[in-house]
Structure 1
């Protein structure tokens, strides 16, 4: 088995397939205009890439690392965030400027359903660990849309901070973490009550959140301050257990897409303006090295095959 990073170079319209044995680019593939976000199916066979300014989804065969299909739709208008159901049968996509959610059949790669959020700038897709709910942050409405996966319908909207973009549910399902990029803070929301249990000040313009596989850490890249907030999700301090920023480390300029490897021993952060990927050793919580990729890397995913 070989481990790969799939890195989207949004300003040169390519994907770098990085072999993590050598930490070097094994293959580069040309995409449609402005590849932005990426998701790999649970079986590792396919990768979906939103090409935001090209208004297309590129579907890649992971055996060959070649684009095997392109999806288009009249209502694609800056297609962006992607997520896949745990069973791998459906792919959800948020189209930012049309403010709609698309549901794609992952077996046929056909669009099955489209519905509006009626909110402003619906940007990302984040599944609950059990796959029953999808959370869609709306940057312009300063809220989160909740979609029920069984009914494929919106069941709620709830307010958060200003400009929410990064959203992820802790692996235990109890808390939704929300990075409010205009407020430079983190909200930790109770998924049952939708009340804000904790607020944390972090770096400037936090735009993504990703949890380690064991749920111990949440990593949040801060675009404008060029650093990575490391949140210990159950930090013990003065007889209290709560989420706490235990470290903030320098990475490259405009960090964005962030992903863990399978066992959580390493994390990788795409640095948009320095054209590289930071390698984060999760034992030492330090940047251990850099991987050179293409121009303005953003979305990133992990693949083992």
Structure 2
């Protein structure tokens, strides 16, 4: 055991014995002391030794942006959304028609909710009461989960063909659903859980949708057209021409101040759209086959899952450059969501049937914690708090296919 100071005798021993002192790992024999001095020395030794136990007993802190837990979930997990109170993460399991509910305090699955076939995306209402899940199989529907009891309420809501993405307006009144196979967006009134109006035509094979923080616009990635459509939510019509981005755009997330939209592209890039002009201002190289994207609540960082690379890239929004090395996670990472306090990122690993929990800060209390650790091996640990789909400017919570 290492300590700054350790004594081998009690204060007040008479006659005083020579004491062994361990200082900075070097063993020395201290001179004998008697009387009041010996008592003062003994008390000091005990005090310092106690302090050393306190210091050396602390768990080592993990470096920022390292995996601190790996949580087993259902088959082929895709989308992920976190409740506004930070208590739970909801994960869609594409392969077994279910949603896993992770308690973020312990990073363990506490519930599994059956939904429709091939669930892809999930979004949670701003009040945290409901989770909306797109069922992209033959159902072509949206299931609504009441989060208090983790039960599906009502009948599935019919929408367009192959619904693969969902985003909820900041006031919680409407859910926007991207229908991949019929090039449209359906709008659900969350008060009645019915579709309102006709489907909104967008570009070719829409994959993702995100809504600006003021609720005025919905940005939709058109995977087949390599563009982004912008919907005016007041009229539910597309405004302006489609915005050209990279090849086969997947996901989109909007900064908390609403100034920029970040779009992942199959050509291993992220396009940055200035929402004031709806033009691309920057293109950022990232990892292989970028998929999901989420932005921290302070708008400082963007987290991008790289599917074929098995990693997560981190972009500094001040410079729009990738910082640090890619973070190793599981196999085929798809979805990503960031907790409302910005401390954790939850990443679904589609081929591992797991969720990796990344510590964004340097604090760490999970089972995988160690100084300088990284990667996603191991079992679930304890730590984490939470957020919701749409928090941190990100409302894309799933991607179609594998």
Per the TM superposition, whether the score is higher than 0.5 is yes
The 2-side partners of 1:13 and 1:71 are apart by 13
Give matches, 1:99-178, under 5 Å: 99-156=183-240, 157-178=242-263
Equivalent pair of 2:161/2:181 in contact (CA under 8 Å): yes
Equivalent pair of 1:281/1:287 in contact (CA under 8 Å): no
Which residue, out of 329, 345, 356, partners 1:251? Answer: 329
Equivalent pair of 1:40/1:301 in contact (CA under 8 Å): no
What CA RMSD, in Å, does the superposition of the two structures yield over aligned residues? 2.0
* Higher RCO, Cα 8 Å, sep 6+: 2
Equivalent pair of 1:147/1:154 in contact (CA under 8 Å): yes
Q: Which runs of 5+ in 1 are unaligned?
A: 235-241, 293-299
Q: Cα offset for 1:191?
A: 1.3
Q: Cα offset for 1:71?
A: 3.0
Q: Which residue does 1:282 correspond to in 2?
A: 360
1:25 aligns with 2:25: no
1:230 aligns with 2:307: no
Q: Which residue does 1:180 correspond to in 2?
A: 265
Q: 1:168-199: CA deviations, max 9, x gaps?
A: 11112221111112x11011121122232211
Q: Cα offset for 1:150?
A: 1.0
Which residue, out of 36, 39, 50, partners 2:120? Answer: 36
Larger helix share, 1 or 2 = 2
Equivalent pair of 1:4/1:302 in contact (CA under 8 Å): no
Q: 1:39-82: CA deviations, max 9, x gaps?
A: 00001111100011131211111111000123343x62111110
Q: May I ask how many residue pairs the two structures share in their alignment?
A: 287
Q: Cα offset for 1:283?
A: 1.2
The 2-side partners of 1:11 and 1:86 are apart by 30
CA separation of 1:200 and 1:32: change in aligned 2, threshold 3 A: same
Q: Cα offset for 1:288?
A: 7.3
Larger strand share, 1 or 2 = 1
Which protein shows a greater Rg? 2
Q: Which residue does 1:55 correspond to in 2?
A: 140
Q: Cα offset for 1:208?
A: 1.2
SS in 1 for 2:323: strand
Runs of 4+ in 1 over 6 A off after TM superposition: 288-292
The 1-side partners of 2:375 and 2:129 are apart by 30
Q: TM-score scaled to structure 1, two decimals?
A: 0.89
Equivalent pair of 2:345/2:358 in contact (CA under 8 Å): yes
Q: TM-score scaled to structure 2, two decimals?
A: 0.68
Q: 1:4-58: CA deviations, max 9, x gaps?
A: 1111111011111111122111111211111100000001111100011131211
The 2-side partners of 1:290 and 1:105 are apart by 42
